[in-house]
Every structure is written in structure tokens, then in C-alpha cells.
Amino acid sequence: MLSNLTNTLEALSPSQKFYWLIGGVAALLLIASVIGWLLNRRLLARQNPSEASQKVINNLIARVNAWWVMVVILGIAFLAGKLGTIILFGFISYFALREFMTLTPTRSGDHRTLSLAFFLLIPLHYYLIYIEWYGLFSTLIPVYAFLLMPSISVLAQDTEHFLERAAKIQWGVMIAIYCISHAPALLLLPIINFEGQNLLLLFYFLLIVQLSDVLQYVFGNLFGKTKVAPVVSPNKTLEGLVGGGVSTILVGAALWWMTPFTPLQSAGMAAVIVVMGFLGGLVMSAIKRSLGAKDWGSMIEGHGGMLDRMDSVSFSAPIFFHLVRYFFTS
């Protein structure tokens, strides 16, 4: 029976696999919406419901509603193909960089450098993905932009906190543009025996990243007691990491059929995504704490800003990309 299921899944065309995935995600979101509605109705039926319970349920409903919107947007972009997906991620980088720079104060001497980042680096970097120029894609920001941006800033002759300002801009560009862009950069990889299916691999990566975040949140709220880093991120618990991480790895193994991996390899890749995503969330939370902010923004109801959704992606995407490139490309 398992062998027949395996053969059936392998026989599906890329478009059929995509529709099955979209249907599965929609079904999960529908179940989550119903659960949220039932929990809220039960809570309202109580006399004097606790404020904490109401807050948790409202947060759950807001997150699910936001996920409906995000899945629809992702689905449209994927159906639009390579160009639509790259344009979508270009806008994601734009909004993420804007949030980062909004929380990290700059001076008038940095304005030309910021204009360069927003209006030249973002479109040029994503254009390199579109034309599949890996060599320049991999060096444009960490080499050329790294040296060019402070060179432009120094021409303003504003030396007050120069190193700190330059580092903030470079960090923002690296995280919001370079690191996040490694997700759509999966489209340029010539993966062995996987021609024409790179969009599925990107969908797999995004699904594992976001599912890990959701399951860690759920397990943390249900069973969380041991704080991993209470000063940095009070809501992250060991129980949430283990329960959510293991569950995500199992899901990753079950989704091997939409990847170039074996079930064991898919579980290993999911484990890498879980660990790097968790570390990304911690690091970005530490930056927020140092800036005195709870969220990067309020763009996505229930989720905070764009960077609050992309913090896990920013750390896991480059590692996942290079593991695939090293082990699975021709």
C-alpha cells in the first residue's frame, strides 16, 4: 500500500503536486479557522472570561486570518511562475529593509546610501536571480555593496557614530535583501532529475519554515515551561522547540515526494531549516530588544511586521540553498 502511494505521488506532474499542496494547506487553515471560532465562542459563553485566554484566542484568530491572506498571495505568485515569484520576494525585501531602517536611526549623511540600497540593490539583485547569474548574485552584496555603501556615506563627511551607522545599514541589507533572496534563488539551481520543479522546492522550504514557527508557538503555549532565552525572547521554550521541531521534521519527511530528496534526506533538510529558523528568530529578537521594540512593524495583523515573518527565512534560506546547491545540482 505504501509502495502504491509512493508511486502515485511520484507520478504526479509538478502542477498536480502544487495543487495538492495548496489544497492541503487550505484544508489545514480551514480546520484552524473552525477551531479558533469554536474556542472564541466557548470563551464568550463563559462568565468573566480571563483576559489572558481572550488574548491568546484573539492572537490565534489573527494569525490564521493573516495566513489565509499570505497563502493566497503566495499561490498567485507561484501560479504567475518564476517572474511573479521573484517580483513578490523583491517587494518582501523592500518592506523588510524599510522596517529594519525605521527601527535603526540614521542621519542625513546616510540618505544616498539608503537610496542605493532600496532603488538599485534590490531590483539589481533580484534581476540577477531572474537571469540566473549565480556568480554575481553571490558576490554583489557581500563584496561590492559592502565596500561601496560606506564609501558613499563617507562622502557626506559625517563621522558621528560612523561605524555604528555603516554596520546597521550593512546588516539591514544583508538580512533583508541578501539572505531572504536565497529563497527565490532556489529557482536558478540546476537540480539533478528535478527539472521544471524548482518552484515546488521553494514551496517546500517556505512551508517547513512557517510550519516550524507555528508548531513551536502551539507546543510552547500548550506545554512550554522551560525558557530558552527569557531575556531575548520570553515566548520561546525548550518544549516548544522540541515538540514543534520534531513535528515539523516528520512533516518534512512526509513531503519528500515534492523534493529531490529521499525521505531521510528530506527529514535532515527539515531539521536544518528548523534549527536555523529558530536561531534566526532569536538573533532578530535580540536586535529588536536592543532597539527597544516588540515587533519590527505592524504590517501583518497577528504577526507584527514583514521581518517578524521573515526572521526565520533570513537565517535558514542561505543554508538550505547552499546545501541543495552542493549536494543536489549537476
| pLDDT value of residue 28 | 79
Q: How far is CA 274 from CA 98, 256, 302, in A?
A: 26, 16, 21
pLDDT at residue 47, rounded to an integer: 66
Residue 8 has pLDDT above 70, yes or no: no
The stretch 319-328 carries a mean pLDDT of 96
Q: Are 99 and 307 in contact (CB under 8 A)?
A: yes
The mean per-residue pLDDT over the stretch 122-139 comes to: 96
What average pLDDT does range 214-226 have in this prediction? 83
- Please, which contacts does 111-119 make with residues 24 or more away whose CB atoms are closer than 8 Å? 112/152, 112/153, 112/155, 112/156, 113/149, 113/150, 113/152, 113/153, 113/169, 114/169, 116/145, 116/148, 116/149, 116/152, 117/145, 117/149, 117/169, 117/172, 117/173, 117/177, 118/94
pTM score, whole prediction? 0.88
103 pLDDT more than 70 = yes
Helix (H) or strand (E) holding 233: strand 233-237
In angstroms, the CA 257 to CA 322 distance is 20
Q: Identify the pLDDT of residue 236.
A: 86
Enumerate residues 6+ apart whose C-beta is below 8 A from 202: 85, 183, 184, 186, 187
Ranges 9-13, 38-42, 140-144, 308-312: which has the least confidence = 9-13
The pLDDT tens digits for 143-192 are 999 999 999 999 989 888 899 999 999 999 999 999 999 999 999 999 99
The residue-averaged pLDDT of 203-213 equals 89
Q: What is the mean pLDDT of residues 1-6?
A: 57
Sort 291 into a burial class: Cβ within 10 Å, 0-12 / 13-18 / 19+. Answer: middle
* Residue 58 to residue 80: CA distance in whole angstroms: 33
Question: In the numeric block, which cell numbers belong to residue 90?
Answer: 523583491
Please, which pLDDT band fits residue 2 given cuts at 50, 70 and 90? Answer: low
pLDDT digits (tens, 9 = 90+) for 268-278: 999 999 999 99
Q: How many CB atoms sit inside 10 A of residue 211's CB?
A: 21
Q: What is the pLDDT of residue 298?
A: 67
First to last CA, the chain: 33
- Per-residue pLDDT, averaged over 281-310, amounts to 79
Q: Could you tell me the residue ranges of all domains in the chain? A: 1-79, 82-188, 194-330
Is it the case that residue 303 has pLDDT exceeding 70? no
Residue type at position 216: Q
Q: What is the pLDDT of residue 4?
A: 60
Q: Which long-range contacts (CB under 8 A, 24 or more apart) does 86-92 make?
A: 86/126, 86/129, 86/130, 86/184, 86/187, 87/126, 89/126, 89/180, 89/181, 89/183, 89/184, 90/122, 90/123, 90/126, 92/180, 92/306, 92/310
pLDDT bin (cut points 50, 70, 90) of residue 135 is very high
Q: How far apart are CA 273 and CA 267, in angstroms?
A: 10
Say which residue, 155 or 106, is predicted with more confidence. Answer: 155
Please choose, from the candidates 302, 329, 323, the residue with its C-alpha nearest in 3D space to the C-alpha of residue 213: 302
Can you tell me the mean pLDDT for 116-126?
95
Percent of the chain clearing pLDDT 90 (strictly above): 47
Q: In sequence order, what DSSP letters do the residues of 23-41 get, joined into one string?
A: HHHHHHHHHHHHHHHHHHH
Q: Per the structure block, which three cell numbers stand in for 298?
A: 505592524
Q: Which three cell numbers stand for residue 140?
A: 554583489
Q: State the average pLDDT over residues 3-29.
A: 73
pLDDT band at 29 (very low <50, low <70, confident <90, very high): confident
**Average pLDDT across the chain, whole number:** 86
Rounded CA-CA distance 238/224 in Å is 7
